Amino acid sequence: MLVTESLAPSGGTCGDRSCWRARGPRKFAYGDEAGTPSGMIALEAKAGASGQADIRVRAAGETLTLPTMPLGLPVRAQLVSSTGICWESVFTSSHTRGNDDGVFQSKSE
């Protein structure tokens, strides 16, 4: 069941620069301090070995729709590209450090 979503749109500018930037040959970053259109402030994606990836997301602000907290565990998070490529992680209680007051902080298995 989808409980919330946030977008990091391709193209466009955030302030006076591109929202998306390459950070070397295997890393991309998205940054929009305004959090438009739906609360995504930062996203960092780094390619890893054997199909692994390190993806970090930060979303906040008035345009972010928050689910009712605490979230029921396990939590499945998906990052889906505009071309349909999907990265997914599952978060369980063993690695979750925060799950209340509008904050979910965890590491995947």
How many domains does the chain contain in total? 2
61 plus 44 within the same structural domain: yes
Decide if 97 is inside a domain.
yes
Decide if 28 is inside a domain.
yes
Q: Which domain holds residue 32?
A: 18-65
Q: List 104's β-bridge partners, or say none.
A: 99
74 plus 43 within the same structural domain: no
Q: pLDDT-derived band of residue 63, with 50, 70 and 90 as boundaries? A: very high
Residues in the chain: 109
Q: pLDDT-derived band of residue 7, with 50, 70 and 90 as boundaries? A: very high
**Closest by Cα among 43, 100, 24, 33 to 69:** 100
Count of C-beta atoms within a 10 Å radius of residue 18: 14
25 plus 40 within the same structural domain: yes
The arithmetic mean of pLDDT across residues 55-69, rounded, is 90
pTM over 0.95: no
Q: Choose the final residue of a domain: 65, 80, 97.
A: 65
61 plus 86 within the same structural domain: no
Q: pLDDT-derived band of residue 53, with 50, 70 and 90 as boundaries? A: confident
For the cut 90, the answer to whether the pLDDT of residue 43 exceeds it is yes
104 plus 84 within the same structural domain: yes
